Amino acid sequence: MVSTIDNALDIIMESLFNPYKERVADVDKIVSSMISKGLIADENEIVNDHIAFRTIGVRHLGIASFEKIFLHHGYKKMAYYQFPEKKLNAYWYAPPIDRLPRIFISELRVQDLSEKAQGIIQKYTDQVTADPVDHLDLDNLEVVGEFFHKPLWSLPTLQDYQTLLEESEYAAWVIYNRYYLNHYTISVHELPQPYSELKNFNGFLESIGVLLNTAGGKIKTSKDGLLKQSSSVAQMVPAEFAGGETVEIAGSYVEFAERLPLPEYQNRPLEKVSREQRRDGFEAANADKIFESTYTEQTQKN
C-alpha cells in the first residue's frame, strides 16, 4: 500500500505549484534551461529544498492558524526566528518524509506597526471572524488546495496597498497575495558539478537573464558557512484593486540553496553525503535579506 501522508502532501504541493508557475515565469525559464544544459533530464529531478508562506499575525490568522494545515499532515515545528526590524516572526517545519520540502512560515507582527497601518490591516482582517483553518476538512485535499488561493478578506484599495507599502513592504505583499506560494527553492548541491556550487549556479541564472536579489550581496551565507542562499527578484503580476484599477505589484520569486556537509562529514566524497549529513534549518541573517526579494528596491532595479 502507498503511504497516505505521501499522497496527501504531494497533492497539496501540486495545488500550490500550478498557480505559482503561472505567476512566476522564471520557473519555466530556469527549468527548461536546466534541461537544455543537461543539468537535469526533467523537472521532477529538481529537489525542492523548502517552500515559504507569509501570514498576518492577528487573531484567527497568522502562523497559529496557517501551520495547522501542515501539522495535520505530519510536518514538525522546528526553530523560531525573529526579525525585529522587519517586524516579523517565523518558524520552520520539518517534513514527515525526506523527499518533501521543508516549510518556512513567517508572520507580520501587526501590533508593532503604526496605528495607521494597523487600522488598514484590521479593515481587512476584521472580516475574518473565526479561524478559517478550523473550518476546513484538512483531509479533503481539494478543499485544502483551494484554500490557499481563496480570498479571506475583500480586495484591498490601491490607496491602502500603497500606504502599507511605505511602512512595510511585507504587509503590502501579504494583504494582496495572501497564502499564494511565496517561493520554492532549488536545491543546488544536488546538481552536477560545477553547478552544485551556488556561485556557479548564479552565473548560469544570470546568463539566462534571471535577475538576482542583491540585498546583502547575491549570496547570503550562514555564520557557520554551511548554508548559502540566493534568490530571484519577485516577478511583477497585474493586480486588480477594489476601485477597478489594475497595477503591477510584486508577486512571488524563486530561491536557490546550497547546503554543505556538516564538519564530521566534510572529508567524504560530496556525492556520498546524504541529506541528514548536511546543514539543516535556516539562518535568520540570510532570511532577513531574502525577504527583500519582493521589495520595491529589488523589483524596480534594472
User: For binding to Ni ion (CB under 5 A), which residues are involved?
Assistant: 52, 255
Closest approach of Cβ 246 to ligand OOG, in Å?
24
User: Quick one: which of 53, 130, 50, 48 has its CA closest to 90?
Assistant: 53
Closest approach of Cβ 252 to ligand OOG, in Å?
9
The secondary element (H helix, E strand) that includes residue 194 is none
Residue 12 binding result from Ni ion, ligand OOG, none, given CB thresholds of 5 to 8 Å by partner type: none
Give, in degrees to the nearest 5, the angle at Cα 232 between 240 and 229: 135
For 195-226, give the DSSP string. TTSHHHHHHHHHHTTPPBP-TT-SSEE-TTS-
Cα pseudo-dihedral 290, 37, 302, 282, rounded to 10: 0
Closest approach of Cβ 237 to Ni ion, in Å?
19
Residue 89 binding result from ligand OOG, Ni ion, none, given CB thresholds of 5 to 8 Å by partner type: none
Give me the 17-46 binding string for ligand OOG, x by CB under 6 A, dash otherwise.
------------------------------
User: Quick one: which of 86, 82, 43, 89 has its CA closest to 62?
Assistant: 89
Residue among 291, 295, 298, 299 that touches ligand OOG (CB under 6 A)? 291
Q: Which C-beta is closer to Ni ion: that of 163 or that of 231? A: 231
Q: Which C-beta is closer to Ni ion: that of 26 or that of 255? A: 255
C-beta of residue 37 within 8 angstroms of C-beta of residue 45: no
Instruction: Please tell me the distance from the alpha carbon of residue 220 to that of residue 216, in angstroms, as a whole number.
Output: 7
Closest approach of Cβ 287 to ligand OOG, in Å?
3
Q: Which C-beta is closer to ligand OOG: that of 106 or that of 202? A: 106
Site for ligand OOG in 140-199 (CB under 6 A): 182
Q: Which stretch binds ligand OOG (CB under 6 A): 132-140, 145-153, 155-163, 284-292?
A: 284-292
End-to-end CA distance of the chain: 52
Residue 247 β-bridge partners: 239
Q: Which stretch binds ligand OOG (CB under 6 A): 20-28, 72-80, 141-149, 282-290?
A: 282-290
Instruction: Please tell me the distance from the alpha carbon of residue 201 to that of residue 223, in angstroms, as a whole number.
Output: 21
Closest approach of Cβ 275 to ligand OOG, in Å?
16
The secondary element (H helix, E strand) that includes residue 128 is none
Helix (H, G, I), strand (E, B) or coil at 118: helix
Give me the 241-280 binding string for ligand OOG, x by CB under 6 A, dash otherwise.
--------------x-------------------------
Q: Which residues bind ligand OOG (CB under 6 A)?
A: 52, 54, 104, 106, 182, 229, 255, 282, 286-287, 290-291, 293
